[in-house]
A and B are shown apart, each in its own frame.
Chain A
């Protein structure tokens, strides 16, 4: 306590007024708060929208007021999942308080659309009837209706109210799913292998013709074994094709008869059904298990129907493999460059210029890298490799076209500045004392770098790699030029020799989002998929980063020099 009251007063005023000059705390904290709010709301939106896609909705049945034209085809009953209930603005009468429902009515083949908007004041009643069924199909999206009976191939029927109905339907759907899987195995792998070999033979034939150069006898002699093998393969193919056809024929004939909301009868071939459930009979745990089941299907299945249905497994896999390949390419390259810049190059104007250029490379628009990748990797490198090693198959390019390898290399160029800058920083942070200790022990400069400096800098290098991976995994524009496609028939890694196919085109989550959201014929139907895909892309980046962070922490513990 000061004896002088004036001093005390001044002190208090000073304290409460500008807080000893710390008023910029508000500015900085505000910046952080705004940033955090934006990021969390974005993540929360994606999380919510991306997860609710998988939650099974109940099917509501609406009775419309008599004479309403709001229904489908003049009918006054309609059923669907309520997607949204919102206030619509009627610009004509200028009133903003009318409510409307957005319904997912399904049955696209019958109705011609998936979604229907219905004014709330046209609705007389809304109820949830237990007998409604939702079925996933191979084509035309989901089916919503009331099952009537199963019409068997032999003419007999099993009515929906008989006790064995649900069990029988389940059994048939499961059986057909297994059958389709079998057809897929035959067509994709066994016939695929034959096609692969046939293609090889065709190239051999071309080569023989070219080498024979018009010499008929020589040509015949060279072609004989090829013809023989070709005939053999053809025979094998016919056997397999007949097998597949028999299985395929077994899929048709049995139909599920339903009554749609408006009273129309609909016959759904059971062979084209993937699964079905009674949405209004599901309890909480039933819904939870359905939720996880659908989520699993989404991440593990191939896409169907122009990517708007089914899963996105190829895109996840493509993104993952591409990011890993990119990391494998960018790390050694970036680290070596940084080691030279920091450790060997004479620090001066030239090195400084190089450093500035490298930093500025990070600001080049990514599409420019895409164009460069297309011109250099695909056309120049790939084209030349084709010319030297795959001459027989020209003009069809083998590696002279977009592929996962070229995409990974293009992205590694894009992320190179990040790795170089981070590595340089990490190298600079290794203390002089540590280097001197190694040199004093008789180590050469390279031994010092290799045995002491690089291990100590490893955590910092990995930080750069984490940033590079996050940047690379989310990049879309350059990939569109160097190998991403809307639908890739086969993965870059599979069981066909030589197992790794760096020349193959691939699917990518980022491109998938673009494709679903902006290139899809039914934007409204694709919207949930866009959110779910975005969520997955973020999850994938987080998983990759967590992996790298775990490696980094392990290294930090190992090389705990306290420099980081």
Chain B
């Protein structure tokens, strides 16, 4: 799907899925399974559903990790996935760019679409899919080359070697990751000389260098100190103007501070999904309440 079609897409309101629609009548409906699909607690917010997870189940061998998840993630919004360890939130995130395909013996049911393109469409190459999706990992993992080469890695593997273009991309991406001022004088020195926070922002710069549509962040601040964390969070608020961001976090405050929507997962099931304000102030499901209050997890 090209940028062109996306931009001409009519901005339809972010609503629940047809299936959820059948079950629920209005905004914050609790389905029979205790599943809250979508709400309109923020009526002024009207995002386009960009990533849609449809009846998605996922298995590691015989073990089912995700059970029939349905959710929409809005365009240019930050969606946070929270839940105790092993609840499947990372698995869900890593499925969006099919990173989990690397694991042996996995299979899935259901579908995930990005801008109405199924990620499992056999005509879509997995590499071109990943080019549309940037990813930032829990442990910052810059390559052991220069800062410059790190940022343009995605362009290099795509065979784009125009010096002028690369220079522009490096500056734009590093500015985008709020790192430009700190490293502009040593672009060609090793990325291994950066501090932990700088490395993570470098990884963000690398993830956004190829202008993806989606940015997946898997606990990006887990290994960072509070000051670096704040920087990354501010950065996320800036980045959401351009990208659709999905973030997995263990940090309640972080989810509360920077996300627009929050999904609470438990034992592979999506327990509750709503605006962040609603999930944190007025959770409908008891498990959610316990978790956000720190009684569980």
Contacts and interface: CB of A to CB of B under 8 A. Distances in A.
Interface of A: 431, 433-434, 436-444, 447, 451-452, 455-456, 558-562
Interface stretch (B45-53, B126-134, B279-287): B126-134
A455 B190 CA distance: 14
A457 to B, nearest CB: 11
B1 interface: no
- Majority secondary structure, A binding face: helix
Contacts of A452: 143
> Which 6 residue pairs of A and B lie closest in terms of their CB atoms, listed nearest first?
A559-B144, A442-B131, A440-B135, A433-B141, A441-B154, A443-B157
Contacts of B210: 441-442
Which among A439, A440, A560 has the greatest number of chain B C-beta atoms within 10 A? A440
Contacts of A431: 141
A398 B192 CA distance: 54
Which among A431, A442, A443, A558 has the greatest number of chain B C-beta atoms within 10 A? A442
A434 B203 CA distance: 11
Contacts, number: 73
A114 B157 CA distance: 72
Contacts of B99: 436, 439-440
B192 A442 contact: no
Contacts of A439: 99, 102, 130
Given A434-B141, A436-B99, A447-B157, A441 B190 contact: no
Nearest to A447: B157
Interface residues of B, number: 28
A447 B131 CA distance: 14
Given A438-B153, A558-B190, A559-B144, 14 more contacts: A431-B141, A433-B139, A433-B141, A437-B206, A439-B102, A439-B130, A440-B133, A440-B207, A441-B157, A442-B128, A442-B130, A444-B127, A451-B153, A559-B145
B42 interface: no
A560 B190 contact: yes
Given A442-B157, A442-B158, A442-B210, A437 B141 contact: yes
A440 B218 CA distance: 12
A561 B192 contact: yes
B175 interface: no
Contacts of A559: 144-145
Given A451-B157, A558-B190, A441 B206 contact: yes
A559 B142 CA distance: 11
A560 B143 CA distance: 9
A560 B130 CA distance: 27
Contacts of A442: 127-128, 130-131, 154, 157-158, 210
B157 A436 contact: no
A455 B144 contact: yes
B19 interface: no
A427 to B, nearest CB: 15
A441 B158 CA distance: 9
